A and B are shown apart, each in its own frame.
Chain A
Amino acid sequence: MVQERILPTFQATSAKIDKEEGLRLYEDMVLGRYFEDKCAEMYYRGKMFGFVHLYNGQEAVSSGVIKSMRPDDFVCSTYRDHVHALSAGVPANAVMAELFGKETGCSKGRGGSMHMFSKEHNLLGGFAFIGEGIPVALGAAFQSRYRRDALGDASADQVTAAFFGDGTTNNGQFFECLNMAALWKLPILFVVENNKWAIGMAHERASSQTEIYRKASVFGMPGYEVDGMDVLAVRDVAKQAVARARAGEGPTLIECLTYRFRGHSLADPDELRSQAEKDEWQARDPLTRMEAYLIEQNLADDAELKAIKKRIEVHVEDAVKFAESSPEPSPEELHRYIFAED
């Protein structure tokens, strides 16, 4: 049994947060959680198909990073992309409709669970193969630098965040892109969601160096280890990384230690992870933790938090109704979108 990594201690007092910001983060995490729970329900009721990977447990990463960015920044996700899309501002209606395969989905029902896209929200996509989104994110970051430094557009200071898991950090594209990002000082955040398991492959069975954040140092890049179950800790590190990137100081690797509360996908029997491990991480639930913090800091009371949860519950129910009542894509448009339209 490999010893559990000791999480870095985080000084909650160092990250000052006001009520509005605190509730915004909390609400985004509740949306992520409730949306995914609803997906599980709809999947088992035969409303959505294919491989559906849920984000439960990892909400602090999506909310902590993306809510530290501007709406015109870029987000690049993986196959576990519903919640990144929501944090990036894609309406729950459009994400749910995509899962239902409807024309009103953010990818017009052509993409599905693993392929959420929204140009309007600068969501570069859900990428279903391991590592393939990282170079694409790098290209968006290069584009910002190109506009600023080759075309002289001083307003081109957009930052890109690329999300991926621990399993991806053994893939060549991870190393290749860290190298190029550092080489060209590109405005990008490499956000590792280390949830300890690549389907059934335990991280320590796949990685000779399990502390992923250390891999930044060989590229001369800052690397941070952060408690990925603590939205304020993630936010704190993300804000610093975003500021560095925006100032033209280059990339940052952020390793968020987190856990998925469900199997790899809804098709995963999840037989390998021990109950003890699950219980231990469940006790660190980022939503419960944020609730306790908000109350302890007198930023919200129980009634306010209940009201938020109720509102999000209705919001997600509405998304289901929207998806159910939306039209299917037209068979006449089967061939549309293969090539760009004029």
Chain B
Amino acid sequence: MAETLLFNALREAVDEEMGRDETVFVIGEDVGHYGGSYKVTKGLYEKYGPLRVLDTPIAENSFTGMAVGAAMTGLRPIVEGMNMGFLLLAFNQIANNAGMLPYTSGGNYHIPMVIRGPGGVGRQLGAEHSQRLEAYFQAVPGLKIVACSTPYNAKGLLKSAIRDKNPVLFFEHVLLYNLKEDLPSDEYLVPLDKADVVRPGKDVTILTYSRMRHHVLQAVKGIEAQGFDPEVIDLISLKPIDYDTIGESIRKTHKVIIVEECMRTGGIAAEIIASINDRFFDELDAPVMRLSSQDIPTPYNGRLESLTIVQPKQIVEAVEKMMTARV
């Protein structure tokens, strides 16, 4: 066991997979000499050389497309989005080519690539650097979308993503890179498609992901103090969603609250609510409730910024409201 920071857990995952498979390479802005904007690739340029840790010009759509071409011809690229928001500039390559080309080509090609980097709302980074692209990308067929939330799952998930035969959008959170955790010294993988039951409980299912997992866990004490026993599930996979785990929980609690950092309109929760209604409506004792970020560009001002995202206190209040509502 070794206490490891989240960004180092990711670095270990990349390093181990590059050592294991020589077709794995990293491509992106400042991944080489600079070591990555959040130091996820620190030292790898020195270890693997300039072609396996390729510093690119600032040309997101083209270097993402280049990774698609490399993946089609047998390599396994890991694209680093210096900030995931910049991948809006690569939307075409991610959606049309990474996502749809395997299908459009009738299975001629598959695209084993990972697109990873920091997403989410940071501290006063302004609207453009505070994006939650998982909501924009969830409609693209052919993509897998994963959000890590702890050093343990970050490492195991990234290793699985690198080994996957499909394009995986891998979301890290800009405020979670310095989380610490003891990691096993032996190699381990975490499956891409399984939600994580973080805290078993019987009264209400709380679905969340990424940084909001930690807001929910902060809220748990307040919820317990009110005498309720919540089940907290970290979705991990945002596409496809693990409805087996969700269904099992709903059959136990019959109540669901979703806490997300993406905006309310067209968000991850919007999709999950629709699917829960399709699949588990008869199990529900109350309408599914969602706590989302507000539908506004993230403001710079710190106080306004904190008002746009869900705070632990709101989660406690939401649980209380749902538990005390007359059914």
Interface residues of A (CB under 8 A from B): 74, 76, 105-111, 115, 117-119, 124-125, 127-129, 132, 134-143, 145-146, 149-151, 172-173, 176-177, 179-180, 183, 336-342
Contacts and interface: CB of A to CB of B under 8 A. Distances in A.
Interface in B40-68: 49, 51-52, 56-57, 59, 61-68
A150 B106 contact: no
Contacts of B96: 128-129, 132
Interface in B65-100: 65-75, 77, 92-93, 96-97
B25 interface: yes
Contact of A139 (B52, B59, B67, B105): B67
A231 B70 CA distance: 31
Contacts of A146: 25, 51-52, 70, 75
B110 to A, nearest CB: 4
Interface residues of B, number: 44
B151 interface: no
A143 B101 CA distance: 18
6 contacts: A135-B64, A139-B66, A139-B69, A173-B65, A180-B57, A337-B107
Contacts of B52: 146, 150
Interface-central residue, A135, A151, A183, by most chain B CB under 10 Å: A135
B70 A139 contact: yes
Contacts of B101: 117, 125
B69 A135 contact: yes
9 closest A-B pairs by beta carbon, nearest first, are A139-B69, A135-B65, A108-B106, A340-B110, A117-B105, A340-B165, A136-B69, A176-B62, A176-B59
A145 B109 CA distance: 20
A176 B89 CA distance: 13
Contacts of A134: 62, 65
A180 B73 contact: no
Given A132-B96, A135-B93, A142-B70, A119 B51 contact: no
Contact of B70 (A110, A140, A337): A140
A35 B92 CA distance: 31
Contacts of B120: none
Contacts of B142: 338-339
A143 B73 contact: yes
B253 interface: no
Interface string B108-127: 11111000000000000000
Contacts of B103: 110, 337-338
B102 interface: yes
A153 to B, nearest CB: 10
Interface-central residue, A140, A142, A338, by most chain B CB under 10 Å: A142
B104 interface: yes
Contacts of A109: 106
A117 B108 contact: yes
Given A110-B104, A173-B62, A176-B57, A143 B112 contact: no
B61 A135 contact: yes
Contact of A183 (B57, B65, B69, B73): B57
Nearest to B66: A139
Interface-central residue, B59, B96, B111, by most chain A CB under 10 Å: B59
Contacts of B165: 339-340, 342
Contacts of B295: none
Contact of A180 (B62, B111, B166): B62
Given A132-B92, A138-B69, A180-B59, A150 B49 contact: yes
Given A138-B66, A150-B51, A173-B65, A340 B106 contact: no
B27 to A, nearest CB: 9
Interface-central residue, B64, B93, B107, B166, by most chain A CB under 10 Å: B107
B61 A117 contact: no
Contacts of B70: 139-140, 142-143, 146
Contacts of A145: 51
